[in-house]
């Protein structure tokens, strides 16, 4: 019998919004990614998001829009080496999303990044039932003079309200940054919109409850393969859409 908690047993040194959300929605993905160290392939949508964020940050810090968009498209093309009509739709969304994001953000001036130019890292400690774990995050755009932190979300459909996943992420960041306001800017190829849903205290309590359950599950066994064999799997979840074979190979489902 070990004295270690579930996180320590699996050498998990921190959590994050994406990790908490992955565990909450689809624990099999968490196990595949964090315990078995088999990452899902990055999708065209992920690369769309990454390249748009990079382009927006570049323009806000002085680059020409045309150059930033060209760099974004080149990076997307380098990563997506085998295309279909879905990847082409994502590619076509990059330029309009960059332009719409810039329309909303340019009034705030130049954002601040870490000394090395990377996103600012934030951290908050969570103490649960017999365990403590830092939750870390990286802020997309920080405008200290405006007292504003912006997380840029690219999406093909504008949400009317924030998803539970995004609310958790916003509340973690809000607790980390204190007095600054944390808002999410959503951009589609055709429109943009701001959202800042969720009560911070309420959601942090929910996050603690999620992590408590996760810790108890992880404590069942120090063998990731065994945990993979008992975790419930939902094959219809969109998380699996780009790695069906991987899921079948690992989980037999």
252 binds another protein (CB under 8 A): no
179 binds another protein (CB under 8 A): no
51 binds another protein (CB under 8 A): no
Q: Which is nearer to another protein, 3 or 245 (CB)?
A: 245
d(CA 69, CA 25): 33
The CA-based angle 168-173-177, given to 5 degrees, is 150
84 binds another protein (CB under 8 A): yes
The three-class DSSP label of residue 189 is: coil
d(CA 96, CA 110): 21
Q: Which is nearer to another protein, 81 or 118 (CB)?
A: 81
CB of 249 to another protein, least distance (A): 8
**Where do the DSSP E strands lie in the chain?**
15-16, 120-127, 132-139, 141-143, 148-154, 181-187, 192-195
CB of 85 to another protein, least distance (A): 6
Contact residue for another protein among 1, 2, 81, 115 (CB under 8 A): 81
CB of 156 to another protein, least distance (A): 15
d(CA 87, CA 145): 38
82 binds another protein (CB under 8 A): yes
> By the criterion CB under 8 A, which residues form the site for another protein?
41, 77, 80-85, 87-88, 244-245, 248-249
């Amino acid at each position: 019998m070990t004295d270690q908690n579930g996180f320590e047993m699996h050498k998990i040194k921190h959590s994050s919004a994406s990790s908490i959300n992955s565990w909450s929605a689809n624990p099999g993905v968490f196990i595949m990614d964090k315990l078995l160290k088999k990452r899902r392939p990055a999708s065209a949508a992920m690369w769309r998001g990454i390249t748009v964020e990079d382009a927006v940050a570049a323009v806000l810090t002085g680059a020409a829009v045309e150059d930033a968009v060209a760099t974004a498209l080149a990076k997307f093309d380098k990563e997506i080496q085998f295309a279909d009509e879905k990847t082409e739709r994502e590619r076509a969304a990059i330029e309009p999303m960059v332009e719409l994001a810039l329309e909303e953000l340019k009034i705030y001036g130049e954002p601040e990044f870490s000394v090395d130019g990377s996103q600012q890292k934030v951290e908050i400690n969570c103490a649960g039932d017999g365990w403590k774990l830092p939750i870390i995050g990286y802020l997309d755009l920080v405008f200290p003079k405006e007292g504003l932190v912006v997380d840029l979300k690219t999406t093909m459909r504008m949400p009317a309200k924030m998803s539970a996943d995004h609310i958790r992420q916003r509340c973690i960041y809000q607790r980390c940054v204190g007095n600054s306001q944390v808002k999410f800017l959503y951009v589609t190829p055709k429109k943009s919109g701001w959202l800042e849903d969720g009560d911070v205290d309420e959601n942090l309590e929910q996050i603690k409850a999620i992590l408590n359950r996760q810790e108890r599950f992880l404590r069942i066994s120090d063998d990731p393969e065994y945990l993979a064999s008992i975790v419930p799997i939902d094959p219809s979840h969109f998380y699996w859409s780009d790695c069906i074979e991987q899921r079948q190979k690992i989980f037999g489902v």
